[in-house]
Structure formats: structure tokens, C-alpha cells
Amino acid sequence: MNFHSKPHTYVGQVHLLVSDLERSITFYKEMIGFQVLEQTKNQAVLTTDGTTPLLTIEQPEGVQPKQPRTTGLYHFALLLPNRKELAKALLHLLQNRYPMQGASDHSVSEALYLADPDGNGIEIYRDRPADMWNWQDDQVFMDTRRLDVESLLAEAEGEVWTGLPKETVMGHIHLHVADLRATEEFYIQALGFDIVLRYGPQALFTSTGRYHHHIGLNVWNGVGAPAPKPNSIGMKYFTLLLPNEESRVATVARLQQLGAYVVEKNSIAITRDPSGNEIHLLVQG
């Protein structure tokens, strides 16, 4: 089952603000394995298949340093099509001595964690087959165990890293928020996601179509954490791809009923969650 196509709603693209565009382009091409789809003086759109934008990096005028303990991006997560591709990515990072922040087995997936030169969090992962996930009622079991690095690297034996495979998608996004109760109301009631895991009082994992999560939400930067200043390094916005125009119109109506900020520009609805994280709602192509 494909959790990143119709009829599901899922994350399409992430737009980041960075301090040095050329440095970031080099990193995302040479270390992560993107291709440049489009480039202007102050931003670049990155792809894996030559047509679909997955990540935009922008160096705005007057860029501000990354601010600690604010709302915004925790990490964006690139979903690879299989374990062999994850193994090749890990071997490439190790061979280039790029600093890793973690490597975990989450039962539903295996994941690598790192950050770009500006400290923007990145996860690179592969899913186990959905029929191997454990559900109890409507809650999915996700663990955090040591990744079996030896077993994973064995998958890369004799393989050559050639960048991100064209089947790579933006698997999920994980956000810092200020208040879980208001956040839950926004993402569940207005945007139509389902809670698939409550991680104690500090985090929620949400999805459509019983994916293990399309959006993670946490208060690990502190309850009541402020939004970052405009033009500070971090996430500018992310896009949600809705299955059809009817779904987009209905979502806008629910946002308006909830009293959330929402404006429409060129068939794109722009909203912000209660913590100030900006979201662009688009219809899948």
C-alpha cells in the first residue's frame, strides 16, 4: 500500500531558510544526493526524479541565525524505497565522515539522523512492510532501539552510491509546537489527520490511511515555546498534498470554522498551525 499517493493526504515539499545557499546546495547534492531542479540567485529547488520538487532551500535577504527552543522544524524525513538504499546512504555518510546524530530501529522503520550545515534536522529512513507493523486498537507501536548497523551495512556490499533514488519521497515531517492540545485540534479536526500514537504528554504522531506517521508533533522545546523570528534559519513552510479539489475546499472550510488563519492564493490555501508553522495546501497532480 502506498501511503504517499491518493487517496491519502501527505507532506509533499519542505521549504528551508539557510545562511549560505551555495554551501547548502553542495551539501544537499554531494552528501544527501539531491539534484537541482531549478535555481535562482537566492534559492534552489531540489528533486530526486528530475521533475518533482521535494526540498527548496532559500537564502533570504537579512537571514537571521537559527534560534534555539522555538517552534518549527524538528526534522524532515526522506523515505527511501528499500533497505539497500538506506545501507548505501549510511555507507556514503560514513565514508565521508559526516557527523551523525543517531541511528534507530523504530520497529516500523529504520532511520538515520543528521543535520545540514545550518542545523536543520534530517531523517533518512526506510519502512518495514506495513503488514509487519503492530497495532493495538488505533495505536501503532513505535520503538526506539539501536539500529543493527552491521546488518544494514552488509546490504551495501558491492553497491555504489549514486545519490537519492528517484522513488524517494518526503515521508514525514516532525515539528516543534507550543501546545499539544491546540495542536491536536488543528491537525485532527481541521486538517483531517488521525492520531496514531500518543507519546506520553509531550508528543503526538498523526497520519492518514493508517500510516505510522505523516506528521509528528512535540513540545520538547518547551510548552509555550515562541515562534522563530522572520527570516531566521529553519523552516519557512511545508506543503500538504490533498487528494482532490473537494478535499481542499472542505479543509479550508474546517479551518475557517475553527477560526484558524487561512488565505487562498492561486489555488493554494495557506494556513498556520497554532504555533505559527506555515502550511500550504495543494491538490495532488
pLDDT digits (tens, 9 = 90+) for 52-97: 999 999 999 999 999 999 999 999 999 999 999 999 999 999 999 9
Angle at 252 between CA 250 and CA 255, to 5 degrees: 110
Band the pLDDT of 266: cuts 50, 70, 90.
confident
Cβ–Cβ < 8 Å for 212, 132: no
Residue 17 is predicted with a pLDDT of 98
Residue 120 is predicted with a pLDDT of 98
Segment 150-156 shows an average pLDDT of 97
pLDDT in tens, 187-238: 999 999 999 999 989 999 999 999 999 999 999 999 999 999 999 999 999 9
Q: Which long-range contacts (CB under 8 A, 24 or more apart) does 92-96 make?
A: 92/31, 92/33, 92/161, 93/31, 96/31
Distance CA 233, CA 189 (A): 30
Phi, psi of 254 (to 5 degrees): -65, -40
Distance CA 174, CA 122 (A): 10
Distance CA 40, CA 81 (A): 30
Segment 13-39 shows an average pLDDT of 98
In this model, does residue 285 exceed pLDDT 90?
A: no
Q: How far is CA 31 from the centre of its chain?
A: 18
Phi, psi of 37 (to 5 degrees): -90, -45
- Which string of b and e fits 203-232 if b means at least 16 CB within 10 Å? bbbbbbbebbbbbbbbbebeeebebbeeeb
E runs forming strands in 66-119: 72-80, 102-105, 109-115
The type of residue at 47 is T
Residue 161 is predicted with a pLDDT of 97
In this model, does residue 173 exceed pLDDT 70?
A: yes
Distance CA 142, CA 123 (A): 16
Phi, psi of 53 (to 5 degrees): -75, 130
Q: What is the pTM of this model?
A: 0.97
- Which of these, 31, 8, 14, lies nearest to 76 by C-alpha position? 14
In this model, does residue 49 exceed pLDDT 80?
A: yes
DSSP class of residue 130 equals G
pLDDT in tens, 90-145: 999 999 999 999 999 999 999 999 999 999 999 999 999 999 999 998 999 999 99
Distance CA 275, CA 219 (A): 10
Using CA atoms, how far residue 101 sits from 78, 120, 204, 257, in Å, is 16, 12, 22, 41
Residue 267 is predicted with a pLDDT of 81
DSSP class of residue 282 equals E
**Per DSSP, what are the bridge partners of residue 241?**
10, 282
In this model, does residue 1 exceed pLDDT 70?
A: no
Distance CA 273, CA 281 (A): 12
Cis peptide before 243 (omega within 30 of 0): no
pLDDT in tens, 231-264: 999 999 999 999 999 999 999 999 999 999 999 9
